[in-house]
A = this chain, B = another copy of it.
Amino acid sequence: MKEIAKKLGVSVSTISRALKDSPELHPETKRKIVEMAKEMNYQPNLLAQSLRISRSKTLGVIVPEITSHFFASCISGIQDYANKRGYNVMICQSNESIEQEKANIRTLVSSQVDGLLISLSRETNQFDHLYDLYNREINFVLFDRVQEDIPVSKVTFNDAGGAYQVTHHLLEGNNRRIVYVSGPEDMYISKKRKEGYLKALAEYGIEKDPLLIKISDLTLEDNVRVAREIAEMVPRPDAVFCMIDPVAVDVLTEWKSMGIKIPEDMALAGFTNNPTAAVVEPPLTTVAQPGYEMGKLAVTHLLDQLDGLASEDPISIVLETTLVPRKSSRHFQEK
């Protein structure tokens, strides 16, 4: 702007007004300035603008890991809808570490983001950093991996509902002894999906059997361990429902190498509908979670809050999931 001003012999204020199309400027001056600006390829310094108005038009996003297809979809939705409303997005990954999560929050806040979208790390079982944000009146929305008690808006899936659907589906296939492979117990989705699993069992008059609930730390090794333990159970279970697809894929791979046939020997189901679920052999029954949609809703609500379009009161948006029945559960026991 300074350079344009010097070249045209006017003040910087005039330049600013011309580019803002202020009505109190001489049309001729305005024309010259706009022309010159284009010629010199002037691009406003967003930093300076943000500093002045104390709004950066930037949102911060924290996800456990970008390489997960589900979170990548969320990010994609967030990006698209943030851009549509003139916002930029800074993305961080916590790598499933609470310390990294805290560090991410610090840098994003320092960067003056106008709001945050957070999906909690696997490790996060203590929430001071979130309450801290809340007390400092920094806008944020939790999605997918949320903490229920914090009075902020949340976007989740009906995880219990999805787990109910898939368990119900397995029960209809005449499976009775159904294993639930859970992730770490304090994860939100571990709990919710267990709820749905148990509810479906209850409806069929099946009592909860603690032996049929397995816990994996979600690493490949632990998934394999669980797969073997299940295979060696006597009597062998009829079906297995894994909390997330990657676990189911690891189980499937291990079973295949052990010579166990799916779905003939045991039925199998996952959750999330990762791209891999469709292409493994046999294709994996799972529950679809529209990640892009989740990102879209989360960011839209956050922006509505920022722009005063939504009420201040936190809301909870619950997305429905869809059962995707595939061959891995096409297994009708005759009893």
Binding site for B on A (CB under 8 A): 41, 43-48, 50-51, 56, 58, 65-69, 72-73, 75-76, 79, 88-93, 106-107, 109-112, 132, 136, 249, 253, 275-276, 279-281
Contacts and interface: CB of A to CB of B under 8 A. Distances in A.
B67 A279 contact: no
Closest 9 CB pairs of A and B: A281-B281, A67-B72, A279-B280, A46-B110, A46-B111, A47-B51, A66-B72, A43-B110, A47-B112
A269 to B, nearest CB: 16
Given A88-B111, A91-B89, A136-B41, A66 B48 contact: no
Nearest to A92: B79
Contacts of A65: 76
Contact of A66 (B79, B132, B136): B79
Contact of A279 (B79, B107, B109, B253): B253
Contacts of A106: 43
A269 B195 CA distance: 43
Contacts of A276: 275-276, 279
A133 to B, nearest CB: 11
Given A45-B51, A67-B73, A79-B93, 14 more contacts: A41-B136, A45-B112, A46-B112, A48-B51, A65-B76, A66-B75, A66-B76, A67-B76, A72-B72, A79-B92, A88-B111, A90-B90, A249-B279, A275-B275
Contact of A69 (B43, B51, B67): B67
